[in-house]
Structure 1
Amino acid sequence: MPAVAPVRTSAVVAGRYVLLDQIGTGGMGSVWRARDARTGCLVAVKVLGRHSSALLARFVREQAVRVRHPHVVAPQGWAAEDDLVVLAMELVAGGSVADLLREHGPLDAGTAGLLLEQLLSGLAAVHAAGLVHRDVKPANLLLEATGEAGPHLRLGDFGVAAPVADRRFTTVPGAIGTDGYMAPEQARGAPPEPTQDLYAVGRVALELVTGLPPAWQREIPSHPLRPLVERLLVRDPEQRIATADAALRLLRRLPLPPAVPPPVPDRLGPAPRQRRTGGSGAGVEWAAWLGVAALCGVVAGCLCLLLGWAP
Structure 2
Amino acid sequence: MGSVWRAWDERARRHVALKVLGQHSSALLARFVREQAVRVRHPHVVAPHGWAAEDDLVVLAMELVPGGSVADLLREHGPLDAGTAGLLCEQLLMGLSAVHAAGLVHRDVKPANLLLEATGTGPPHLRLGDFGLAAPIADRRFTTVPGAIGTDGYMAPEQARGAPPEPTQDLYAVGRVVLEMITGLPPSRQRAPDHEALPSHPLRPLVERLLVPDPEQRLATADAALRLLRRLPVPAAAGPPVPDRLGPPPRGRRTSWAGAAAPVDWPAWVAVVALLGVVAGCLWVLLGWTP
**If the TM-score is normalised by the length of the shorter chain, which range does it land in?**
0.7 to 0.9
The answer to whether structure 1 residue 262 and structure 2 residue 250 are counterparts is: no
| Unmatched segments (≥5 aa) in structure 1 | 1-27, 278-311
State which structure, 1 or 2, has the greater radius of gyration over its C-alpha atoms.
2
Partner of 2:224: 246
Deviation at 1:60, TM superposition (A): 1.1
1:103-182 to 2 correspondence within 5 Å? 103-182=76-155
Partner of 1:62: 35
> For the residues of structure 1 that align with 2:9 and 2:236, how far apart are their CA atoms?
40
Partner of 2:289: none
Partner of 1:213: 186
Deviation at 1:206, TM superposition (A): 0.3
The answer to whether structure 1 residue 196 and structure 2 residue 169 are counterparts is: yes
> For the residues of structure 1 that align with 2:55 and 2:22, how far apart are their CA atoms?
9
> For the residues of structure 2 that align with 1:238 and 1:217, how far apart are their CA atoms?
24
Deviation at 1:54, TM superposition (A): 2.1
Deviation at 1:86, TM superposition (A): 0.4
| Unmatched segments (≥5 aa) in structure 2 | 255-262, 266-291
> For the residues of structure 1 that align with 2:4 and 2:174, how far apart are their CA atoms?
25
What amino acid is the match of 1:63? Q
Match of 1:276 among 253, 261, 264: 264
What amino acid is the match of 2:178? A
Partner of 1:233: 211
Partner of 2:64: 91
What amino acid is the match of 1:169? F
> Identity percentage over the alignment?
85
> For the residues of structure 2 that align with 1:236 and 1:128, how far apart are their CA atoms?
23
Q: CA RMSD for the aligned pairs?
A: 1.0
Q: Secondary structure at the match of 1:146?
A: coil
> For the residues of structure 1 that align with 2:12 and 2:173, how far apart are their CA atoms?
36
Is residue 150–residue 262 contact of structure 1 (8 Å, CA) maintained in 2? Answer: no
> For the residues of structure 2 that align with 1:160 and 1:257, how far apart are their CA atoms?
34
Partner of 1:41: 14
What amino acid is the match of 2:217? Q
> For the residues of structure 2 that align with 1:199 and 1:138, how far apart are their CA atoms?
14
The answer to whether structure 1 residue 187 and structure 2 residue 160 are counterparts is: yes
> For the residues of structure 1 that align with 2:188 and 2:22, how far apart are their CA atoms?
33
Deviation at 1:77, TM superposition (A): 0.5
Q: Secondary structure at the match of 2:49?
A: strand
What amino acid is the match of 1:147? G
> For the residues of structure 2 that align with 1:258 and 1:155, how far apart are their CA atoms?
22
What amino acid is the match of 2:248? P
Question: How big is each residue's C-alpha offset from its partner over 1:272-293, in whole Å with a ceiling of 9 and x where there is no partner?
Answer: 222239xxxxxxxxxxxxxxxx
Question: How big is each residue's C-alpha offset from its partner over 1:213-251, in whole Å with a ceiling of 9 and x where there is no partner?
Answer: 001111322111000000000000000000000000000
Q: Secondary structure at the match of 1:72?
A: coil
Partner of 1:75: 48
> For the residues of structure 2 that align with 1:245 and 1:47, how far apart are their CA atoms?
34
Q: How many residues align structurally? A: 250
Question: How big is each residue's C-alpha offset from its partner over 1:117-146, in whole Å with a ceiling of 9 and x where there is no partner?
Answer: 000000000000000000000000000000
Deviation at 1:49, TM superposition (A): 3.8
Is residue 49–residue 83 contact of structure 1 (8 Å, CA) maintained in 2? Answer: no
Q: Secondary structure at the match of 1:75?
A: coil
Q: What TM-score comes out, normalization by structure 1 length? A: 0.79
Is residue 31–residue 47 contact of structure 1 (8 Å, CA) maintained in 2? Answer: yes
> For the residues of structure 1 that align with 2:210 and 2:22, how far apart are their CA atoms?
38
Deviation at 1:53, TM superposition (A): 2.1
> For the residues of structure 2 that align with 1:230 and 1:264, how far apart are their CA atoms?
29
Q: Secondary structure at the match of 1:91?
A: coil
Question: How big is each residue's C-alpha offset from its partner over 1:260-283, in whole Å with a ceiling of 9 and x where there is no partner?
Answer: 021000001111222239xxxxxx
What amino acid is the match of 1:77? G
Q: Deviation above 4 Å: which 4+ runs of structure 1?
A: none
